[in-house]
Structure 1
Amino acid sequence: MSSHDLQPGPSSRPSEPVGALLRPRLLAPGPVETDPRTMLSLAQPQIHHRTPEARAIVQEARDRLRRLLGAPSWEVLIMTSSGTGAFETALLGLVPEGAPVLVASAGKFGERWGEMARAFGYVVSSVKKPWGESLDPQEVAAACGGMRALLITHSETSTGALHDLGAIARAAKQVNPELLIIVDAVTSYGVAELRPEEWDLDTVISGSQKAVAGPPGLGFVFLSPRAVSRLGGHTHRYYFDARKELASQQKGETAQTPAINLIASLSSSTERLLSVPLDVLWAEKARLNAALLAAGEALGCRPFASRPSPAVAALVPPEGISGKQVAGALASLGARAAAGQAPHQDDLFRISMMGYFDRYDALGAAGLLEDALVSLGAAVTRGAAVSRAWSVLSS
């Protein structure tokens, strides 16, 4: 064979990716990519939800979710709903109508809980920070006097910010020991350091489509023993009735017809997460997200959040390029990311390694981001993003 035979021909040297040959990738901050074994489990025959088999599935799923929270003494409700439905379950189950509540927010989802509380007639006070900034523990605590509950988001998906929940909770309970702390941990559960017992939290909310890496459709309500003792809450509730649901789920049942196949899939979707200690899991997720942020910085982007969450890499693109343009350019490469949320839809874009990903996927995401920005005319050094990402992953 001659050396000429070893030279690639023109057809083997495409100047840009061939769209039809690209694998679809879901890099958005939820829903996320799902383990194929989890999807395969959903192809099993339908079972009836009022059977011993179904009761065993519900109890196993509840046990696995508690272990992933690191709070074995807590109760967990698996709701056939989104995370928003789970938050409504907790709010209505714990806080009587008309009670004063404090909403601490610095982004879209923190603001949502205020909107929900007002819709149900609670007396709402607010502590706000600009989007992307971190909540100040002392400022939040100072506003907790006389409040029945604090509604707070741990990892703000809209901004990629992680609030210091432990410090906030400690300061708040010093001011108001009877305060109920209801936490949106939709994108921190299974991703970021979360110690509900040590931090004296009362309720933690999450969902199946984030770090658990299952399909959307399940909301999780974790209740401390103290929260269980105070169940009652708002009189206007029916489907989202935490007390009724708890009585059923302690027996392996659900108060209403559940998405039993989705619940069964939790056994496979949590297997990887529970195969290592929580500290190891949190550290690896933080490392993956740090690699994405470093890759972005190598390409002229900067982090949007002052205290980044390991769940979401929220990046401000280079001058002259919008977040929506970056998300669109990634979509043209088969990778679905997210722009910012209104009013910051042009200011940032968001990518995530929450789902069924490992460090080699982070390297691939760095390469995709580099190609996307090149296609938008950004001046970048080829290979810089992957190199920076790899330096973080190997540190």
Structure 2
Amino acid sequence: MRLDQLLSVGDFERRARSILPRAVFGYVNGGTEDCLTLDANREAFRAVQFRPRGLVGVADRSQSVELWGRKYQHPFGIAPMGVTAMCRHRCEWDLAKAAANTGIPFVLSGLSTLAMETVREADPDFWYQGYIPGDREVIQPLLNRLQSNGVKVLVVTIDTPLGANRENNQRNGFTIPFKFSQGLFWDGVRHPRWSANVFARTLLADRAIPRFCNVVADPHGYRITEEPKGGFRSGRDRLDWTHLAWMREVWPGRIVLKGVAHPDDAAMAERMGLDAVIVSNHGGRQLDGAQGSLDALPDVVAAVSSQFPVMIDGGFRRGTDILKAMALGARMVFMGRPFLYGASVAGQEGVQRVIDILGSEVDRNLGLLGCREMDMLNREFIVSKGR
């Protein structure tokens, strides 16, 4: 299928479903327990409607946004995603390169399998997202490695102190650490395109099992099939504000908190001298029954000063979704699954096509709203309907 025949993120999702083994697609697409948070993310957009203005002249439009003095071409970026190698060989390269070519931020997950030293060649300005344990002896060497790789933006995820109950993964036989099984083998056989691009290329080209090589200071990390010493999530439940205060003292770059849902946490981050927050519920993959990200956004924006950037992720699929978040005060929108669908279908070209689709949707609907620039968007252009 030609990529120009895929017209929306939904088209890419359906195509990715046909390419990826059921267990892999379930890992990418699923949530936790009853998927209440997953559903809440999408429902939140349906509860916000536009109120456009007319006769304002929208011939000269720009969707660029500025963050910390840097201009980005679109008001969206690529969110951190772990274990993307399950969807595409060297997937992080495809994501990073497309982001760099288009002028949008790419956030590298700590649970990635392509070393940051290599990712840097694709996108020298990548952000790094870490699952940080409450242990300074572990944090400091990791910070040193990040600095040596020119990382300027550190994203600390705070909504994963414990592993979530992802029943769908267990039912599909998909676990981290990854375990091979007869069911997964036959799942791969029934999806030959995935087997050729991911399984075969990993074994033939890399001649090794992928490793989580960016989660700690040691670039060798550990194999995705093994449980690291102390456990997969060792020490995350000890991370608290004192560690962030210390990191603020020793880390010279930007620090962004990801996974913020409560306005008091955002206010604390600003008082502590951190640089931004990302309103997020981990894409519905952690606490089930949590508020949708878009629903949580207004209170978080109200809790901080207008100079403090509030970003968001969770459930975004259309340019109109992005515009609703920007009207509610977001400075940048991050998306994960849409770009992973693009990479699963066609690598870097697929990611680029998704970026182009979303960019076109933002441009078209920005004009239809009666706006020339993203800075013009505010609550005057939206209305919330009762649920």
Structure with greater Cα Rg: 1
The structure with more helix, counted as a fraction of residues: 2
Give the number of the structure with larger relative contact order, counting CA–CA contacts within 8 Å between residues 6 or more apart: 2
Using the size of structure 2 for normalisation, the TM-score is 0.30
Using the size of structure 1 for normalisation, the TM-score is 0.29
